[in-house]
Chain A
């Protein structure tokens, strides 16, 4: 928010100066601003800059073809030529234009892709991987069958009779489970 300065020794706010130039100030405000401009070369330079910009805009609007890039280039040149420290070229417009252009292009591409999938003809050819085709494969019918049994040993059934005992496993050299039956000598 631009703070408007009320003293003549301070710079005139940009907004106020613009409104003065446009004639949007009240009579009293205009008198104060005019006095400040008269007393300050810098304010006079700022006002003349506004005048030049306005002239450029007025000149271009008379032409049927509006070249925005050329206009902005001229404004940049004019601002760069001005020595007022309050005026500087801000390149945000170009960046914004590039960003919005990129966004628009991306959205257009995404929309095109979506439409392509949605409206794809039913009989559109589907990419076929060479390995998708059914083929006959010849395999050798080797009659020799090697069967590798599960390693280790396990208890299927046990009757301790009148003794007590336990069944557990210990690990063999290859990690296979080996069954162990441990029987207590006590008879009940």
Chain B
């Protein structure tokens, strides 16, 4: 059993409190991992069905997404991100979406960089750079790629 003298206890409590207060900043970068859910949706204007799992994404029912009357989930993947490390997600059109966690902001939001290459045209990326700051659980969307008679809508949510 470790005995702590009375004179040291306040100092230890003070040190523990300081560490708790800086919990959003002081953790080493290697210890910070963020989950990123990448949702790829094929949206079409023709009449059809909306995937039931998309009911919770209110943003997809607002303009301009509400112009699409058919929405099918093509792929759903979860990637673990660490600062300054990227993860690649292959899209149905053969392009690769790269997502990289830049940093965890002091206020808890995530700064990420996203790019989409163009394999059929070297040196010209489809989306060279997109830098976004997002709150945990709030997605951002990249849309506009044509595929299979519809439009790809990519939703990225960080947790």
The chain A residues found within 8 Å of chain B, CB to CB, are: 141, 143-145, 147-163, 165, 170-173, 176, 178-185, 187
Contacts and interface: CB of A to CB of B under 8 A. Distances in A.
B138 A172 contact: yes
B126 A178 contact: no
B140 to A, nearest CB: 4
A171 B21 CA distance: 33
Given A143-B21, A147-B108, A153-B133, A179 B127 contact: no
A181 B130 contact: yes
B62 interface: yes
A188 to B, nearest CB: 11
Interface of B: 16-18, 20-21, 24, 56, 58-59, 62-65, 105-109, 111, 121, 124-136, 138-146
Given A143-B20, A183-B145, A156 B132 contact: yes
Given A149-B135, A172-B58, A158 B140 contact: no
A123 to B, nearest CB: 48
Contacts, number: 120
18 contacts: A145-B21, A152-B134, A154-B132, A157-B130, A158-B130, A159-B130, A161-B125, A162-B124, A163-B126, A163-B127, A176-B135, A180-B59, A181-B127, A181-B130, A181-B141, A181-B142, A183-B144, A183-B145
A148 B108 CA distance: 7
A187 B145 CA distance: 12
A180 B130 CA distance: 11
Nearest to A143: B17
Interface-centre pick from B56, B106, B128, B135 (highest chain A CB count, 10 A): B135
Contacts of A152: 134-135, 138
A149 B107 contact: yes
Contacts of A181: 127, 130, 140-144
Nearest to B142: A181
A143 B129 contact: no
Contact of B128 (A144, A154, A161): A161
A5 B78 CA distance: 115
Given A143-B21, A179-B141, A150 B109 contact: yes
A170 B65 CA distance: 9
B108 A149 contact: yes
Given A163-B127, A172-B59, A182 B144 contact: yes
B126 A176 contact: no
A149 B59 contact: no
